[in-house]
Structure 1
Amino acid sequence: MALAPASAIVRAGVGGGHLVSNLLAFVRLLRRAGLPVGAGEAIAAAEALTIVDLADRAQVHGALRAVMVHRREHFELFDQAFTLFWRSPEAGRQAAALELFEAGKEKERPPPTARRVAEALMADRPRPPPQEAEPPPPLREATLTVSDRERLQRMDFEAMGAAEIAEAKREIRRLVLPLDERRTRRFRADPSGPGLDLRATIRASLREGGEILALARRRRITRPPPLVALCDISGSMARYAQILLHFLHAVTNERDRVHTFLFGTRLTNVTRQLRHRDAEVAFELVAQAVPDWSGGTRIGESLARFNRLWARRVLGQGAVVLLITDGLDREGAKGLAEATDRLRRSCRRLIWLNPLLRYAGFQPKSQGIRAMLPHVDEFRPVHNLESLRALVESLSAPQPRAGHGRRAA
């Protein structure tokens, strides 16, 4: 959708001069960085600037964010873009170049929002004029080089730029989750079934005057078990939760009996919101339903509330539970071991997905991790596409019976 022309914004209430062109340039920057900003947000931003003091940077920032950002997870990205854009253009370009240079180092990486804004700012730089044709470089043997697709599979979600995140979301939508099917207590008629159906055989014989002319057979019904996801959306997990919600949305729309709960300082059931086919609409509904995105973490309290209110409703028939959290609870380990143990006893399989396992030297040093770890069946990383594919393969593989060596790390 094209942005509103400058004349429309002038009519909305902002005077001429450089402010109009700068505002439109800022809107284009947000769109390149991945924010859903259109003509409506541009006009609303122009109207908002007419009622604030333009000399007060805090008022301008608050007014623009109020009318241009509609989801909590986009606040950080907007703040980075506002900080880099509303100053000297040369300083913004230098910061963008420095951001891309620092991203390749081994030290602590900047937040992904800063990298996405830097990439959007770099797009504004004029391209150098074409130079004279140079002789082609000599051919090199590249048999063992890693393709871009393989690099994307191993790239950490936290280190992805805007284009890489969009490609990762497309890859996630293509993932298929054929859960291992379980036998139920119900039967269905099947002429080649392994068991005899005496009741159906007798009913059929009554239509023939009591003569049994054929034996009815039946087969036990098999279906995938329920899948329950408990996803941490606290400040330390928010960046991963944004990507994993796309995975949970795809799974929810692909099969039935999938339940999703988000927790930070409280527990929220978002199963109904994620059932909407349109991903953007579904995430907008989730943002409206979840009041504690990127806040604190109360894992023990949230698991205890789930055990008390939801376990009997959704954990029947051999349910599989995905517990997605880094285990960093601000309440320490208070009640965490008991809540995790009860959750483990209520389901058939409890899988803990922890992005901290991406570090080779990971050690369970925090109180929360040490309290939860003895009560889970599997402890897996979840930080890139490769780890998600490994999870899908694990869920699809046949599992041993309860009590026969299920626990693995």
Structure 2
Amino acid sequence: MREGWRRSWDPVGGGTEVRPPARGEEWTAADGPAVLVGLARALRAAGVEAGPDRVEAFLGALDVLRPAVRSDVYWSGRLTLCGAPDDVERYDRVFAAYFGDAVSGGRPARAAAPARSRVPVRAAAAGDRTRSAGDGDAVPTAALAATTEVLRHRDVAALNAAERDQLRRLLAAFTLPGEPRRTARLRPDRRGTVDPRRTVREMLRRGGEPAPPRLRDRTERPRRVVLLVDVSGSMAAYADALLRFAHAASRGGGARTEVFTIGTRLTRVTRELTHRDPDTAMAAVAAAVPDWRGGTRLGELLRAFLDRWGARGMARGAVVVVLSDGWERGDPELLAEQMRRLRRLAHRVVWANPRKARPGYAPLATGMAAALPSVDAFVEGHSLAALERLAAVVRGVDDA
């Protein structure tokens, strides 16, 4: 499989089947391994620790099994890419969203199946159409997943309705854990310093006999994440995707996530995003936010956030992410001053600008130019792949 896949028409399943090229055939499709690596990227964005060693084991398992059969792809990934019980549910959600159908493990998919894109295929030889009786669940795995892999790099503003629906299913599988930090709280551990109280209690329990020393070490907790999402008119094409990204971030990852919308007003929407269903959460946000598609007053709203929330502890030691194109109708000096103030409070300040990916872009807008000196990481935010990288930057594993 790692040498390449070839598409052929499958008359039994009524769709395309992906199989290794026969002996003497040339590699005519290079998207097979890329599709599976893309699945691993989506799993990492959802919080599954699918590292290079696990991806290599996944590809090795499919070398032995049948990459054209969905159940083989599903179980190969589940057994090699998942390392903890919590990873299984995330894996199921990502697999269903990525391949656009129910998983083959006997569980119903938690997301509706997207419309399948038509992929040009060529007729197969008669010998290619033979399948075993247990291959009834063979599906066009690579065709749909390759479409998803292309979708990951598409600009959100250029997507059609069907592609937006597929993007929403992929965004629902996101997590956004904060960068881990060591706390002052101590807990029993196999390494660390000696815990005198537990050591003495263990010796008393043994009747005064010597006992191995009990150790303790500091715990790790993810830093708080604060998202400031621009919903002004210039960000209208990206607001829905960014808010769905914020919804997924606020529901998983282990860190407390606070979400605000900014435009002409500052609105805290953390409570509205607690709804489990993304569509219900988006409806609640739409009802709570009064300044959709309005202007932008970044400096005034950032000052309001710091005065009411940030200085009281919400931004202190947190990772603050601003998702905006940087257009500012107010005084840019005020924005620069408040960004410096935010930088002193927060652990890291990340700015995600969807327009950064455009050819020839330069941060010449007055608001962006004023804020950039106080930003630790300046990243793109126009596509699913860009949001995956943003999640890695927030976790502290990727520097912009």
Q: Aligned-pair distance for 1:238?
A: 2.2
Q: Aligned-pair distance for 1:256?
A: 3.8
Q: What is the rounded CA distance, in whole Å, between the counterparts of 1:315 and 1:184 in structure 2? A: 17
Q: Aligned-pair distance for 1:220?
A: 1.2
Partner of 1:370: 369
Partner of 1:279: 278
Q: What is the rounded CA distance, in whole Å, between the counterparts of 2:262 and 2:123 in structure 1? A: 54
CA contact (8 A) 2:296 2:327 kept: yes
Q: Aligned-pair distance for 1:278?
A: 1.6
Partner of 1:305: 304
Q: What is the rounded CA distance, in whole Å, between the counterparts of 2:333 and 2:370 in structure 1? A: 9
* 1:251 aligned to which of 249, 252, 260: 249
CA displacement 1:344-393 (0-9 Å, x = unmatched): 11111111001110212012222211110111001111001111122223
Q: What is the rounded CA distance, in whole Å, between the counterparts of 2:393 and 2:333 in structure 1? A: 31
Q: 1:137 to 1:200 in 2, by over 3 A?
A: closer
Task: Tell me, yes or no, if structure 1 residue 242 matches structure 2 residue 240.
Answer: yes
Q: Aligned-pair distance for 1:263?
A: 1.0
- Structure 1 residue runs of 4+, over 4 Å off? 136-139, 203-212
Q: What is the rounded CA distance, in whole Å, between the counterparts of 2:198 and 2:305 in structure 1? A: 43
Report which stretch shifted further, 387-396 or 283-292: 387-396
Report which stretch shifted further, 223-232 or 198-207: 198-207
Larger radius of gyration: 1
Q: 1:279 to 1:366 in 2, by over 3 A?
A: same
Task: Tell me, yes or no, if structure 1 residue 148 matches structure 2 residue 147.
Answer: yes
Partner of 2:180: 181
Higher strand share: 2
Q: What is the rounded CA distance, in whole Å, between the counterparts of 2:262 and 2:360 in structure 1? A: 28
Q: What is the rounded CA distance, in whole Å, between the counterparts of 2:287 and 2:124 in structure 1? A: 57
Partner of 1:164: 163
**Runs of 5+ consecutive residues of structure 2 not aligned to the other structure:** 1-121, 126-144
Secondary structure class of the residue paired with 2:234? coil
Task: Tell me, yes or no, if structure 1 residue 230 matches structure 2 residue 228.
Answer: yes
Q: What is the rounded CA distance, in whole Å, between the counterparts of 2:200 and 2:173 in structure 1? A: 49
Q: Aligned-pair distance for 1:226?
A: 0.7
Q: What is the rounded CA distance, in whole Å, between the counterparts of 1:364 and 1:286 in structure 2? A: 30
Q: What is the rounded CA distance, in whole Å, between the counterparts of 1:396 and 1:346 in structure 2? A: 18
Secondary structure class of the residue paired with 2:223? coil
Partner of 1:293: 292
Partner of 1:349: 348
Query: What amino acid maps onto 2:225 in structure 1?
Result: L
Q: What is the rounded CA distance, in whole Å, between the counterparts of 2:395 and 2:224 in structure 1? A: 13
Partner of 2:314: 314
CA displacement 1:223-271 (0-9 Å, x = unmatched): 1111110111111112211111111111111134110011111111111
Partner of 2:9: none
CA contact (8 A) 2:226 2:258 kept: yes
Q: What is the rounded CA distance, in whole Å, between the counterparts of 1:276 and 1:138 in structure 2? A: 48
Q: 1:233 to 1:319 in 2, by over 3 A?
A: same
Q: State how many pairs are aligned.
A: 259
Q: 1:280 to 1:213 in 2, by over 3 A?
A: same
Q: Aligned-pair distance for 1:175?
A: 2.9
Query: What amino acid maps onto 2:261 in structure 1?
Result: L
CA displacement 1:317-338 (0-9 Å, x = unmatched): x311111111101114141101
Q: What is the rounded CA distance, in whole Å, between the counterparts of 1:315 and 1:333 in structure 2? A: 22
Query: What amino acid maps onto 1:352 in structure 2?
Result: W
Q: Aligned-pair distance for 1:138?
A: 12
Report which stretch shifted further, 327-336 or 378-387: 327-336
Q: What is the rounded CA distance, in whole Å, between the counterparts of 1:219 and 1:210 in structure 2? A: 25
CA contact (8 A) 2:222 2:255 kept: no
CA contact (8 A) 1:234 1:293 kept: yes
Q: What is the rounded CA distance, in whole Å, between the counterparts of 1:397 and 1:347 in structure 2? A: 14
Q: 1:307 to 1:397 in 2, by over 3 A?
A: closer
Query: What amino acid maps onto 2:291 in structure 1?
Result: D
Compare relative contact order (CA 8 Å, sep 6+) and give the higher one, 1 or 2: 2
Partner of 2:217: 219
Report which stretch shifted further, 206-215 or 236-245: 206-215
Q: What is the rounded CA distance, in whole Å, between the counterparts of 2:396 and 2:325 in structure 1? A: 25
Q: Aligned-pair distance for 1:206?
A: 5.1
Secondary structure class of the residue paired with 1:221? strand
CA contact (8 A) 2:223 2:255 kept: no
CA contact (8 A) 1:202 1:212 kept: no
Task: Tell me, yes or no, if structure 1 residue 331 matches structure 2 residue 330.
Answer: yes
CA contact (8 A) 1:201 1:212 kept: no
Secondary structure class of the residue paired with 1:271? coil
**Runs of 5+ consecutive residues of structure 1 not aligned to the other structure:** 1-135, 140-145, 400-407
Query: What amino acid maps onto 2:217 in structure 1?
Result: R
Q: Aligned-pair distance for 1:283?
A: 1.6
Residue identity (%):
42
